Amino acid sequence: MGRRGFAFPPHFKQVLFIFSQVFFLLGLFSFLPPASAQGTNTIGTCQTETLGREFITSYMDECGNSSQFEVQITGYFAFTSVSVSISNYMGNGAKFEKKIIVNRGEIQWVRVPESVGIKGSTKFPNVVLVKADKDISVVSVSNKHMNPETTVLYPVSSLGKEHYIVTPSTQSLDSYPEFSVMTYEDRNSVEVHVKGKLHYLTQVYSTGNKLEIKLRAFQGYQFQGIGDLSGTRIVSEKPVAVLVGQVCFCNNTKCNHVFEQLLPVCSWGTTYIIPPLPWQKVNETVYITASQSTTVLYQLGEQPETVTLAGGSVLQRPVKPSIPVSISANVSIQVMFYSVGTAVPNSSHAFLMNVPDVASYCRMYYLNAQEGFENFALMVANASETGTIILDNQPRRDVVWNRVPGTDFVWGMRPLGPAISSHAVEHPSSPFALLSVGTATMDSYGIPGSCRKNVTFKCQTETLQIKEQLEKCKEVFLQGSNSEFCSFMNSTLVNLESMCAQDRAVSLQEVARSFGSFLNSSILSAGGNKNKGDVASAVTLLLQSVELAALTAALKSPENRTQNMTTEPMAIETLLIRAAGPCGKGFTLRAQEETMDIQCDTVTRAPTEDILAVAFISYSTLDSIIDKRFLNEGGLTADEKLRNFHLNSKVVSGAVGNGRLMNISKPVNFTLRHRQEKKEEEETRCVHWKLIAGKGTWAEDGCTVHETNSSYTICHCDHLSSFALLMGINGVKGRKHLLGLDVTFQCQTETPQIKEQLKRCKGVFLQGNNSEFCSFVNSTLVSLETMCAEDRAVSLQEVARPFGSFLNSSTLSAGGKERKGEVASAVTLLLQSVELAALRAALRSPNNTTQTVTTESMAIETRLIPAANCCDEAFTLRAQNETMDIHCDTVTRASTEDSGAVAFISYSTLDSIIDKRFLNKGGLTADEKLRNFHLNSRVVSGAVGNGRLMNISKPVNFTLHHRQTKKEEEETLCVYWKFIAGKGTWAEDGCAVLHTNSTHTICRCDHLSSFALLMGHTGEEESYPLKIVTYMGLTFSLLCLFLAILTFLLCRSIWNVSTSLHLQLCLCLFLANLLFLTAVKRTSIRVVCAVVAGFLHYLFLACFSWMFLEGLHLFLTVRNLKVVNYTSASRFKKRFMYPFGYGFPALVVAISAAVNHKGYGTSTHCWLTLERGFHWSFLGPVCAIILINLTFFLATLWILRDKLSSLNEDVSTLKDTRLLTFKAIAQLFILGCTWSLGLFQIGSAKMVMAYLFTIVNSLQGAFIFLVHCLLNRQVREEYRRWIKGTRKPSPTIQTGSVSMSTVTTSTKMVSWGEPSTSSP
């Protein structure tokens, strides 16, 4: 008789296979990146870089007790955010994290707690992490008695896996060598191959011993030696940082701590040059380490020496005063310089320094001079390339260069002074080496210069005023605040720095496109006195940045002597001139219609390279930004006499060399075209832009009018800057306005509301007052009346140009609630005027059936239809990418002349004016349901006859392309603009969406007006409590499902077909819930998200497939109770269960993927898309299975209503069958009801149904475990036996309580063609 209980079944291999599938999926998705993962530095590239974004370090043991630890951070980009933190540090009960903002060329120190210092040989968790969002360089400083010892930190991206220890020797009895190993990555294994003697734990290890240590992320181990540890090899599984040093060094001075970060073997070189120290009096030491057998040529001055080194050996050689050293080898070696210090009276401390190999030399460096030190820049360069070393943008030809015997190199030294400062040193074409060294009383230091391989220094010439703004914004960012002005500054500087990258070419097209977009920034159009300083600073920074970027683009293309580029916002022309040789001629640069005449000598006087650049820029719209925002209010003018003037030209800029020259030897002439024709009574002034004390001003000094007429002016200036023309009337105040009573309008069809505004403006002008809105109305109507004159023809070009300029009017971009009515009126008037003018232009050219024009601000197409023709067809008008389909009959019915005209206009920027100024605040929306939407198309207008028809017989179709791709969850509305009671509104009535997709929408409207698309999210934001309920419920469900799976697998007393069904259902549900919990939000990688959605589709369908099989099994079981002879009942073969249970879902998923593979995965969840009804590939089979199972259960209940107990003496079997039916119905209710609740998440009860859906769904696993395990008497008995640790024999035939997994009689098990599981 068999024994039953929690024992491994005979088919244990099947159990292992099932769980191997589970853990395979777990392992597969553990490799998926988090949804919010951000890029970090790549580790172990083996390139000797000093600039990076992540650094790690620690502070080793040193003599004495008082220490001061710091990290010195140098910035290379504006607004670099830096965080300094200490892992696992809880000093004073709080974590340590210091956040700073560092600008380019700026040095900042961050002090870390003294308690992070490491004592003795020990594992330590307190690794210091420095992290930045842009490249920085970091120097670690350990101060002892105010004597700092420093080391350059190498970024995480430069760490390696193999290092060789070098520890300098000393005669001090209190000194001993040490090194520390730190890891950035988790679960790192490190091997230490000892050479010498060191302490580890409680033992001493000697040469030949190997230690193995395991480190978690941001952990390290400090080892201290008894003697010299040079030659000890460190090998790690993942990259590590290694610091080496000497606890106490006392050869010539008071005891001092020395330390340095080692370079990994993979970054070693074969050739090294070591210049002598400027203050050197005694022999210093150089350590040469080989990782494999090599021959080293060591040459001290004229004395060469050849030495053969075995792998792992360290060679020590002297470096004598004033004599350079060259070292070369046939394989890579490590070279470290060790200054032993000097004794009094000229004492200096010892320091340890990596020597860069020749292959790692670069063309640009940054170094920091230290305060209180006599600082020097030691340089090693190719002998033929020394004449063009540039220090802080100035060529240095006074450096004395000394030959390095046996090489093609020379070395030189340049004093930097005692003050703390940052210096840029570069060579335009040849790599060189730079060491930063310094000495002071009882102190000295030496570190390699920070090599900048990515960014030049030519684009960093901020004025003092700009630096003040940078400092202000730094405080804003540190406080975590948001500032539109500071964001503009940051974006501009990032753009400039990107163009200054050394390893990439820059075209003028890129300069114009990138900086041109900034001219549309809201910070430049900000109003109010409090924003004027910000706008002035922003304008100044933008002007300087464009000049520097244009000069950089010119210098990076020496093959192109002349370059020019014209875009919508600006035009640029550059010219290259060779610095060699005098030149007395002049030349002209042209940008749009403006010109600059400059003398060749002016350019060649600003040399920093062999080829010099000059740039001339003309801005299309900058004059309107400055003029209309500030000048009319007198905010930017430097002199009272200029207050009544207006800008009447484009703003232009001139620059030479590496930036502007404010004073030049020969004047420069600028020819500037007038925006509007100069009147006889107007006076012209040439002015330039200055930023003084944070305020922008137009000033006259240094500029005079050389020549002027009605169309242009020539300005004569003795400096380079940004220039424009001021123009105005000095005669009698006042002028006659068109809004007087003496003018008749032939084209006007103003609405009553517009007439009210005209009446109001008329009163304003009669009182002699000025109003920006009334000036706009006047100008618009003057333009319209001019085009409506009977005696002149009008072209569409003439319509688009003047009305297009009105789109830049400050009236349309005015903010504040008190101005919204004026803006709405101005927009309405402008829209009506353009339509009337376009129709007039079409009717004035009867020979041109179709006319089109496209400008920066708008596109127009018109068509003429003979009124006599009876046409029954529709035709299409196109403006930019938008189209209007209108019926011929609509045009002819509106005709008042022989021909009917139709016009279609598309506005390039009007949607941004309305959207950003009003719509986001709900100011122009007609209905509350539109308040959360945004305009996502151009504004278009349609008109026929002599004006708009509000009602037409046949609808008009508009095809509008989306500004941004429409997302799946967004809703689209077709709206039109209407003017009601002095307020502009977007309304839907009369318009409907005919068709929409991700790129465009077709609107059908029963009237003509101005139209656009409103688009926005209709779904509610995810509820945080609902999210918590989901995660907690699914986690609990997974635990219960896991216990149920173990029970079904290991409890042999309940093995039968029902148990197999439950087991497969639990497995599918477990995997589906687990995958949903871990991967449904991983939408960052499209392909991975689609795979996740496919797996979820399959697994949830499999759950319902096994539910169907359960329903079928229950139905057959109960039906067999009616049969007297059980064995003759219909049997369903078990071998068909698995093909159906797993094959049917696979077939559905395969067909779905073949039909629409893009339906898997959305922008927010890894599930099925709603587009094209793709979600019904899941809901369809699920609903069908639920309906079929309901049929089975109804039939089962019908059978059970008969008294089947007469068929068998064992009535308990019937009771068990009823219990089985009850449990199965309950289980179907849980699974089926869950998804049906999801279908009812609509209307006001949406959130209630969402919570019910989530709660019920997350209890599935708990319910299965409760019903099939805890409420099953046999399983409870097995639990008790397992807990007690006893296993009693079980009877062969089970006639007691029957679980949901089995239906028995007194003699047989009822199954699908299987015998009883009782033992024989």
SS (H, E, C) 1091-1139: HHHHHHHHHHHHHHHHHHHHHHHHHHHHHHCCCCCHHHCCCCCHHHHHH
Residue 690's pLDDT band, with cuts at 50, 70 and 90, is confident
How far are the Cα atoms of 288, 333, 698 from residue 165, in angstroms, in the given order? 11, 13, 64
Give the Cα separation of 109 and 106 in Å (integer).
10
The DSSP 8-state label assigned to residue 2 in this structure reads: -
Task: Give every CB contact of residue 962 below 8 A, 6+ residues apart in sequence.
Answer: 936, 937, 998, 999, 1000, 1001, 1013, 1015
Give the Cα separation of 1042 and 1046 in Å (integer).
6
Task: Give every CB contact of residue 570 below 8 A, 6+ residues apart in sequence.
Answer: 512, 515, 516, 519, 546, 591, 617, 618, 619, 620
pLDDT in tens, 139-188: 998 876 555 688 999 999 999 999 999 988 765 556 788 999 999 999 99
pLDDT at res. 1126: 46
DSSP string, 1233-1247: HHHHHHHT--GGGHH
Give the Cα separation of 822 and 820 in Å (integer).
5
pLDDT at res. 170: 66
> Is the distance from CB of 895 to CB of 932 less than 8 angstroms?
no
> Is the distance from CB of 916 to CB of 522 less than 8 angstroms?
yes
Tell me which of 980 and 447 has the higher pLDDT. 447
pLDDT at res. 43: 39
Give the Cα separation of 1218 and 1213 in Å (integer).
9
Residue 2 has pLDDT above 60, yes or no: no
pLDDT in tens, 970-1004: 788 898 887 776 677 788 888 889 888 888 999 99
Residue 295 has pLDDT above 90, yes or no: yes
| Tokens encoding 1186 | 């639920």
- Least Cα distance to 630 among 528, 704, 727, 485 occurs for 528
> Is the distance from CB of 836 to CB of 784 less than 8 angstroms?
yes
- The C-alpha angle with vertex 705 and arms to 700 and 707, in degrees rounded to 5, equals 165
Looking at residues 774-792, what average pLDDT do you find? 74
Residue 1061's pLDDT band, with cuts at 50, 70 and 90, is confident
Give the Cα separation of 347 and 352 in Å (integer).
16
Task: Give every CB contact of residue 138 below 8 A, 6+ residues apart in sequence.
Answer: 55, 57, 71, 72, 73, 74, 130, 152, 153
| Tokens encoding 582 | 């005098």
- The C-alpha angle with vertex 654 and arms to 652 and 656, in degrees rounded to 5, equals 165
Containing 270, the helix (H) or strand (E) segment is strand 269-274
Give the Cα separation of 749 and 312 in Å (integer).
95
Residue 320's pLDDT band, with cuts at 50, 70 and 90, is very high
Question: Strand, coil or helix: what is 154?
Answer: coil
Looking at residues 344-363, what average pLDDT do you find? 81
Backbone region of residue 201 per phi and psi (left: phi > 0; alpha: psi in -120 to 50; beta: other values): left
Question: Strand, coil or helix: what is 1062?
Answer: helix
- Least Cα distance to 914 among 971, 993, 979 occurs for 979
pLDDT at res. 275: 95
DSSP string, 509-548: HHHHHHHHHHTT-TTTT--SGGGHHHHHHHHHHHHHHHHH
Which of 186-195, 291-300, 534-543 shows the lowest mean pLDDT across its residues?
A: 534-543
How far are the Cα atoms of 687, 707, 709 from residue 682, in angstroms, in the given order? 16, 14, 11
| Tokens encoding 878 | 């196109």
Bridge-based pairing state of the strands 390-391 and 394-395: antiparallel
pLDDT at res. 24: 38
Give the Cα separation of 958 and 882 in Å (integer).
7
For residue 992, how many other CB atoms are within 10 A of its CB? Answer: 14
> Is the distance from CB of 1297 to CB of 1274 less than 8 angstroms?
yes
pTM of the prediction? 0.50
- Residue type at 144? K
Residue 7 has pLDDT above 50, yes or no: no
> Is the distance from CB of 1093 to CB of 1168 less than 8 angstroms?
yes
pLDDT at res. 1294: 36
Residue 532 has pLDDT above 90, yes or no: no
| Tokens encoding 1100 | 């949830």
Question: Percentage of residues in the chain with pLDDT exceeding 70?
Answer: 74
- Residue type at 1144? F
pLDDT at res. 792: 63
DSSP string, 807-841: TT-TTTT--SGGGHHHHHHHHHHHHHHHHHHHHHH
Give the Cα separation of 1019 and 632 in Å (integer).
47
Looking at residues 1112-1130, what average pLDDT do you find? 62
CB half-sphere exposure, 898, CA atoms < 13 A: 6
Question: Strand, coil or helix: what is 295?
Answer: strand
User: What is the length of the chain?
Assistant: 1320
DSSP bridge pairs for 80: 102
pLDDT in tens, 801-843: 888 878 877 677 665 555 777 788 888 888 888 998 898 888 8
For residue 268, how many other CB atoms are within 10 A of its CB? Answer: 25
Give the Cα separation of 660 and 671 in Å (integer).
19
> Is the distance from CB of 843 to CB of 878 less than 8 angstroms?
no
pLDDT in tens, 251-283: 555 556 788 999 999 999 999 999 999 988 888
How far are the Cα atoms of 29, 1068, 1087, 1161, 1164 from residue 1092, in angstroms, in the given order? 9, 15, 9, 8, 13
Question: Strand, coil or helix: what is 1231?
Answer: helix
Give the Cα separation of 1104 and 1122 in Å (integer).
28
Cis peptide before 345 (omega within 30 of 0): yes
The DSSP 8-state label assigned to residue 140 in this structure reads: E
- Residue type at 466? I
- Least Cα distance to 1039 among 1069, 1064, 1080 occurs for 1069
Give the Cα separation of 162 and 235 in Å (integer).
5
Give the Cα separation of 622 and 625 in Å (integer).
5
Residue 633's pLDDT band, with cuts at 50, 70 and 90, is very low
Q: Tokens 């329903």 — which residue? A: 1111
pLDDT at res. 1317: 32
Looking at residues 1120-1146, what average pLDDT do you find? 66
Residue 621 has pLDDT above 90, yes or no: no
DSSP string, 644-693: T-EE-S-EEEEEETTB--SS-SS-EEEEEE-SSPPPTTEEEEEEEEEEET
DSSP string, 490-513: HHHHHHHHHHTBTTS---HHHHHH
- Least Cα distance to 157 among 239, 73, 37, 242 occurs for 239
Looking at residues 610-622, what average pLDDT do you find? 87
| Tokens encoding 1059 | 């148990």
pLDDT at res. 370: 81
pLDDT at res. 681: 75
DSSP string, 857-893: SEEEEEEEEETT-----EEEEEETTEEEEEEHHHHHH
The DSSP 8-state label assigned to residue 577 in this structure reads: E
The DSSP 8-state label assigned to residue 370 in this structure reads: P
| Tokens encoding 173 | 């009895």
* Residue 963 burial class via C-beta count within 10 angstroms: exposed 0-12, middle 13-18, buried 19 and up: middle
How far from each other are the two terminal CA atoms of the chain, in whole angstroms? 7
pLDDT in tens, 1196-1244: 777 766 644 444 444 445 555 556 556 655 655 555 556 666 666 655 5
Instruction: Give the rounded distance of the alpha carbon of 1162 from its chain centre.
Output: 20
Query: Where do runs of H (alpha helix) occur along 724-858?
Result: 752-766, 772-787, 796-806, 820-843
